Structure 1
């Protein structure tokens, strides 16, 4: 007997997953939309459509797909996470709310937890980003991106020695990248080890950019240590 649309949907969406993983979001978009032609309210297909649009750097279309998925299922965590990722580029605070919603519905969602940390980092809330990164690593200990992000947030919030525990092994390992070495340098600056930070940055940057990076790290770290301004005095009573 031929497969029904409902039966074919999951199998087709597995093809969409493979297409995204293989760097072919156009195929993933075509597959997800073929499912939606027969089943317009298919939340999984809408999430895949959004993911394909996101991979094609078409965030307005991705957001429309994610929002439509959420009208059918307000607890669709993949749609909430995808919506947040699009919002990261323009409105980190709104992105934070989307990731919060995803985590409320799926507390062990490592991707949403990591993205929540990114949203807080983008708002300068480095200390507030530490907790979701830690939870992301508890949910998925193999998440290297979460480990790097945690180390950088610890460094930029002034916790250099703790940051070095994460970034040191990564920066000196065989899979180290310029980005990881840069984050490691930030942790060294936060630990007062400026000469070592300079040496690390010099691996990838010319001398003038090394000093610019050092000064930038020092400025951000110093700002994170400043106490918040006192609240404004109450208005006089007339």
Structure 2
């Protein structure tokens, strides 16, 4: 077998958390004309953004979920007919790991605005997060039926394929998206990670560096680039990247994990080699969240830390990042109720 042999994805587990921001849309508060009493007060986007909605969105983007949740709940009580406030509440619940509450909020937003895309994407993200991969695939495909080149749906569909062990299909989807959206960070990040984890670290590096030859500003991009260099045996380059934003202990944990993963790939590339007695690594999700760009991140952990080298202690969290493009800004890192770490 060659180094291009896919990792045994069925033996890996991933929890993904997609960072998101609601696409603002709404109506405006109008002063009623004399003699005219409207059935209900209408609020437009500008009015909402100028007050609590702007505060809530800012809190969501900065990762302050307690403030975001509090303000969105108040907005829902004050303006229950506005789909955008239900979307914001759903996003806050999602990032907090409260998936059933998020689902209910997305359902309400969809009832108020059947033409709105965001509730559909929200439901698909929940299915992906819960590893209901068939449902997630169907939901993303339904969106793509009407919008074949939608970058968010393509990114999500690709992640679903990667997690189902269909790396070739996932990579084809990412490439399709990049042909239509060559500057999409989520699609490029996902493709690079998929290539790196499936025995093609050199191509992954070329994808992640892009035309500029420089790593992107997002932690996921740097994490994935470091992983690719580590899998190629360039620990010096991986260490330089990690040391620019990680403490020394985390850097060494990551490097030790890259060695372990590289050994697993090398063993699979030797036809006569006996089956490894080590447990294959598992991708354990840690949400991804970045300011100003759509992304989802994951963390790579061994299934059985007791079988890892002593230098990779149980609980260490080497990071990589699968991304699922969202509307513009993403939320900054913090843990959610499921243990996924937004970073």
TM over 0.5: yes
* Farther off after superposition, 95-104 or 197-206: 197-206
- The runs of 5 or more residues in structure 2 that have no matched partner are 1-29, 33-40, 241-250, 271-343
Q: Which residue of 1 aligns with 2:185?
A: 144
User: 1:44-95: CA deviations, max 9, x gaps?
Assistant: 2221111111122222211111122233444432112222222223223322
Q: 1:208 to 1:130 in 2, by over 3 A?
A: closer
Select the structure that is richer in strand: 2
Q: Which residue of 2 aligns with 1:13?
A: 53
Q: 1:146 to 1:38 in 2, by over 3 A?
A: same
SS for the counterpart of 2:43 is helix
User: 1:3-52: CA deviations, max 9, x gaps?
Assistant: 94423445543443222112223333333333332443422222111111
Q: 1:17 to 1:217 in 2, by over 3 A?
A: farther
Whole-Å Cα distance in 1 between the matches of residues 163 and 264 of structure 2? 16
Select the structure that is richer in helix: 1
Which residue of the other structure, out of 62, 65, 80, is the alignment partner of 1:40? Answer: 80
Supply the RMSD in Å over aligned alpha carbons: 3.6
Q: 1:110 to 1:201 in 2, by over 3 A?
A: same
C-alpha displacement of 1:104: 3.4
Q: Which residue of 2 aligns with 1:191?
A: none
Whether 1:68 aligns to 2:108 is yes
The count of aligned residue pairs is 214
Q: 1:144 to 1:19 in 2, by over 3 A?
A: same
Whether 1:121 aligns to 2:162 is yes
1:135-174 matches, cutoff 5 A: 135-138=176-179, 140-156=181-197, 162-167=203-208, 173=215
Whole-Å Cα distance in 1 between the matches of residues 56 and 76 of structure 2? 13
User: 1:159-182: CA deviations, max 9, x gaps?
Assistant: 666434213569974856343211
**TM-score (ref. length: structure 1):** 0.69
Contact 1:113 1:132 in 2 (8 A): yes
